[in-house]
């Protein structure tokens, strides 16, 4: 009898693992089904649950500058201190946020600018440990109008984000002639691309054209903001779109610029 028990016990233990795996699979499928139903209800009932603001990372995780803050050059316009990146963060700090786009769009609030402070620069770098590689860099000439702008790097493969890699971006506004000065106000942050899953793709189709509902529910920040921003620019009088835009920016603590107009989009070709 003892030998039989010794033979039976390993078999019983081995059976626990497949059952636990099936249980976890069922729970995961249940959670995804509930999320899809929630998205479908949000679309039908025009009810939007905003993006969940992440906490500031610890243990050396990257943070950037979400608000430009004060500058050192007294000749630079004081208004430049309000330059803001539309990304998750806490106060003046930005945190890593996600995208599923190979060429995501970046959004910024720019104050009214004099002629002497309209030269800007956008920089995108890939970080691999201590190694930093320049991916894209371009000068921009701003209009000087107060409001929100967006920047989309070129769609060529050499500028595309690789999956699961961290990228560091910068947006500078210079005081005076860029060729003669290094004085600038800037914001910076981090983005990482995730592979689009079949589950998320199905949720996006359910939410269309308000894909931001699905992106927001999955904490895909850059794409939620871009889809909602494009809808707001195309439908400036749509009360639902305007409210959802305000709610989305309120969720990450940028309520002070939530009602600013979208004034320009830079769709860069090269």
Model confidence pLDDT, tens digit, residues 99-156: 999 999 999 999 999 998 899 999 999 988 778 899 999 999 999 999 999 999 999 9
Domain of residue 256: give its range: 63-195+228-267
The answer to whether residue 203 sits within a structural domain is: no
The answer to whether residue 109 sits within a structural domain is: yes
126 to each of 13, 87, 98, 233, how far by Cα in Å? 46, 18, 14, 30
The answer to whether residue 136 sits within a structural domain is: yes
Q: How far apart are CA 42 and CA 212, in angstroms?
A: 11
Q: Which pLDDT does position 155 carry in this prediction? A: 93
Q: How far apart are CA 206 and CA 241, in angstroms?
A: 17
Contact 53, 220 (CB under 8 A): no
Q: How far apart are CA 213 and CA 86, in angstroms?
A: 18
As for how many domains the chain has, the answer is: 1
CATH number at residue 131: 2.60.40.1930
Rg (CA), the chain: 23
Lowest mean pLDDT across 11-15, 63-67, 77-81, 222-226: 11-15
Q: Which pLDDT does position 180 carry in this prediction? A: 63
β 97-99/184-193 pair status = parallel
The answer to whether residue 160 sits within a structural domain is: yes
The answer to whether residue 48 sits within a structural domain is: no
The answer to whether residue 121 sits within a structural domain is: yes
The answer to whether residue 216 sits within a structural domain is: no
pTM: 0.84
């Amino acid at each position: 009898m003892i030998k039989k028990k010794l033979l039976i016990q390993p078999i019983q233990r081995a059976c626990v693992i497949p059952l636990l795996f099936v249980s976890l699979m069922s729970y995961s499928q249940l959670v995804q089904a509930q999320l899809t139903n929630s998205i479908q209800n949000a679309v039908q009932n025009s009810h939007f649950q905003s993006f969940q603001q992440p906490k500031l990372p610890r243990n050396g995780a990257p943070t950037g500058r979400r608000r430009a803050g004060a500058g050192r050059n007294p000749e630079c316009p004081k208004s430049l201190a309000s330059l803001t990146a539309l990304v998750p963060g806490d106060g003046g700090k930005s945190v890593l946020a996600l995208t599923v786009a190979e060429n995501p769009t970046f959004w910024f609030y720019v104050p009214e600018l004099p002629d002497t402070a309209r030269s800007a620069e956008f920089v995108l770098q890939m970080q691999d440990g201590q190694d930093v590689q320049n991916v894209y860099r371009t000068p921009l000439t701003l209009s000087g109008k107060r409001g929100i702008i967006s920047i989309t790097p070129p769609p060529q493969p050499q500028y595309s984000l690789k999956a699961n890699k961290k990228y560091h971006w910068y947006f500078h506004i210079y005081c005076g002639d860029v060729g003669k000065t290094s004085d600038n106000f800037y914001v910076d942050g981090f983005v990482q691309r995730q592979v689009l899953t079949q589950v998320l793709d199905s949720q996006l189709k359910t939410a269309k054209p308000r894909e931001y509902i699905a992106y927001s529910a999955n904490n895909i920040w850059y794409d939620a903001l871009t889809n909602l921003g494009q809808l707001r620019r195309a439908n400036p009088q749509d009360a639902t779109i305007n409210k959802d835009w305000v709610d989305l920016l309120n969720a990450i603590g940028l309520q002070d610029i939530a009602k600013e107009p979208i004034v320009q989009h830079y769709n860069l070709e090269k």
